[in-house]
Structure 1
C-alpha cells in the first residue's frame, strides 16, 4: 500500500532497517517537500514488492549506462509523472537515494541523480563520482552527484 511522505512530521516508516534511518527519512521528506512546493504533487512510496518494475528499470539503466550495480537492498520506490517528466526514485537501506529524471519530450533533460544521506559513506560502486554538498533543514548535509543519460528508456 503506497505511503504518502509527510515532510512536516518526518517519519522513518519503511526505512527502519537503515543504519541512517533518520537521515534517510529526512532526505525522503526533502524530496517530498520539493514536489509539493513545485508541482503540488504528493510524494508517495511503495515497497520493492509492490513496485518491482521501478527497481528493475532503474537497475537496468545503471547497469547499461555505467555498469553500476547497487549492493544495498532497496526499501522504498516511487515513480510518477509531473510537468512532462517521469521521475523514478529508489531509497536504499545504506542511505543512498537514486532518482531518474526522464523528460518525455524528445531532446529534454534525462539524467540519473545520486544523493547520500548524512552519516553514510560513499558506496564502493559510486566511488568514481565526485559529490557536491548541500544543506537541508530536513536532511542535514546531502551529498549529491549525477550523470546524463545517453540511451532511451
Structure 2
C-alpha cells in the first residue's frame, strides 16, 4: 500500500522495525520536503516487498558498479521520474537510505547516494570505501552522506 510521506507531521509509518526509526523517518521526510520544494512532487513509498523489481535494480547497480551487497533488510522503496531523471530510493532497517539518480538523457548525471540516519554506525559494507560528509537537517538531525558516479548503463 503506497504511503505519501508527510514532512510536516513526521511519522515512523513503515519504519517501526528500525532501531533508529525516528531518525530514519526524519531522513525520509527530509527527502520528501526536497522533492516537494524543488519539483512539486509528492514523495510516496511502498513496502519493499511490493517493489521487488525496483529493489533488484538498485542491488544490481550496487553489485555491478562497486561489488556492494547491503546486509540490512530493505523496508521501503520509492521510484519516480521528475525533470527527466529516474529516481529510486530504498530505506533500510539499519537507518541507511540509498538513492539512485539516473538522468535519461545521454549527457546527464548518474549516481548512487548514501545517507546515514543519526544514531547509526556506518555499515561494514561501506565503512572503508567511502568518506561521509555531515549535514544538519531540522527534520533528520545530523545526516551523513556520500555518493559515487555510475559508469555503466542501466
Identify whether the pair has TM-score above 0.5, normalized to the shorter chain: yes
For normalisation by structure 2, the TM-score amounts to 0.99
The residue number in structure 2 matching 1:53 is 53
* Structure 1 stretches of 4+ moved >6 Å: none
Question: 2:77, 2:137 → 1: CA distance?
Answer: 21
1:49 deviates by 1.5
Q: Does 1:133 align with 2:134?
A: yes
Aligned length: 153
1:48 deviates by 1.3
Q: Does 1:93 align with 2:93?
A: yes
Per the alignment, in what secondary structure is the counterpart of residue 150 of structure 1?
A: coil
Question: 1:114, 1:140 → 2: CA distance?
Answer: 16
The residue number in structure 1 matching 2:3 is 3
1:50 deviates by 1.1
Q: Does 1:102 align with 2:71?
A: no
| Pairwise CA RMSD | 0.4
Per the alignment, in what secondary structure is the counterpart of residue 134 of structure 1?
A: strand
Per the alignment, in what secondary structure is the counterpart of residue 136 of structure 2?
A: strand
Question: 1:151, 1:87 → 2: CA distance?
Answer: 16
